[in-house]
A and B are shown apart, each in its own frame.
Chain A
Amino acid sequence: MDFDFNDEQQLLVSSLQGLFHNYAEIPPAGRGETSWFSADLQRRLVQGGFFDTARQVGTLEAAIVVMEAARLPVVVETGASALVAPMLLDEPLEGPVALLSGDLSKAQRLLPVAKTALVDLGDDVVVLEVEPADVEPVETMLAYPYGRFRTPPDLAKGRRLGAGAVEPLRQWSRVALAAECAGAAQSAVEFTVAYVKDRKAFGQPIGSFQAVQHRLAQCHQIMRALRYNVLHAAWTREPVRADMAAAYAQMHIQKLVFDLHQFNGAIGLTTEHKLHYWTFRLRALQPEAGGGDASALAVADKLWGAAA
Chain B
Amino acid sequence: MEFAWTPEQDAYRQTLKDTVEELLPDNWATEIAPHSYGSKEQIAYSKIFCAEMAERGLLVQQWPAEYGGGDGDAWQQWILAEEMMLVGEPRGPQYMNVNWIGPAIMRSGTPEQKAEHLGRIAGGQVIWCQGFSEPGGGSDLAGMKTKAERQADGGYLVNGSKIWTSYSPSADYCFLLARTGEQRKAISIFLIPMNLKGIEIQTYPGLVGKGHLNQVFFTDVAVPDSMRMGEEGQAWEIITYALRFERVSVARFHIGRKVLDRAVAQLQREGRFNDTAVRVRAGRIAAMLEAGRLLSYYVIDQRAKQGSDDVNGNIARVSVSQATQELQAFIMDYTPDALTGGDYVLREFFRANLSSTIAAGAYEIQLNLIAQGALNLPRNG
Contacts and interface: CB of A to CB of B under 8 A. Distances in A.
B34 to A, nearest CB: 25
Given A236-B3, A307-B279, A208 B375 contact: no
A217 interface: yes
Contacts of B56: none
Contact of B319 (A1, A207, A210, A221): A221
19 contacts: A1-B4, A9-B1, A193-B375, A197-B378, A214-B367, A216-B371, A216-B375, A217-B367, A220-B374, A221-B295, A225-B294, A228-B291, A244-B291, A247-B283, A299-B282, A299-B283, A299-B287, A307-B276, A308-B271
B377 A298 contact: no
B264 to A, nearest CB: 5
A241 B289 CA distance: 12
Given A2-B301, A213-B367, A236-B3, A196 B315 contact: no
Interface in A224-253: 224-225, 228-229, 231-232, 235-236, 241, 243-245, 247-248, 251
A221 B377 contact: no
A299 B75 CA distance: 27
Nearest 7 Cβ contacts at the A-B interface: A296-B283, A299-B283, A213-B371, A217-B370, A225-B291, A300-B283, A300-B279
A114 interface: no
A4 interface: yes
A218 interface: yes
Contacts of B366: 217
Nearest to B299: A3
Given A5-B1, A197-B376, A220-B315, 10 more contacts: A1-B75, A2-B2, A3-B298, A193-B375, A207-B378, A213-B377, A232-B3, A244-B290, A303-B282, A304-B279
A221 B315 contact: yes
A205 interface: yes
B375 A298 contact: no
Interface in A64-87: none
Contacts of A248: 287-288, 290-291
Given A218-B318, A296-B284, A2 B368 contact: no
A93 interface: no
Could you tell me the dominant secondary structure of chain B's interface residues? helix
B282 A208 contact: no
Given A217-B375, A228-B298, A304 B315 contact: no
Interface in B266-321: 268, 271, 273-274, 276, 279-284, 286-288, 290-292, 294-295, 297-298, 301-302, 305, 315, 318-319
B1 A60 contact: yes
B378 A208 contact: yes
A94 interface: no
A4 B75 CA distance: 15
Contacts, number: 164
A6 interface: yes
Interface in B23-57: none
A220 B282 contact: no
Could you tell me the dominant secondary structure of chain A's interface residues? helix
Nearest to A226: B291
A9 B273 CA distance: 42
Interface string A36-67: 00000000000000000000000010000000
A163 to B, nearest CB: 24
Contacts of A193: 375-377
Interface in B113-141: none
A295 B279 CA distance: 11
B274 to A, nearest CB: 4
Contacts of B377: 193, 196-197, 207-208, 212-213, 216
Given A217-B318, A229-B291, A1 B2 contact: yes
Nearest to B373: A217
Nearest to B5: A1
Contacts of A203: 381
Contacts of A9: 1
Nearest to B305: A4
A284 interface: no
A196 B371 CA distance: 12
Contact of B286 (A213, A236, A300): A300
Nearest to B278: A300
A304 B264 contact: yes
Nearest to A193: B375
Q: Which of A6, A214, A304 has the most CB of B within 10 A?
A: A304
A10 B2 CA distance: 13
Contacts of A1: 2-5, 75, 297, 301
A236 B381 CA distance: 47
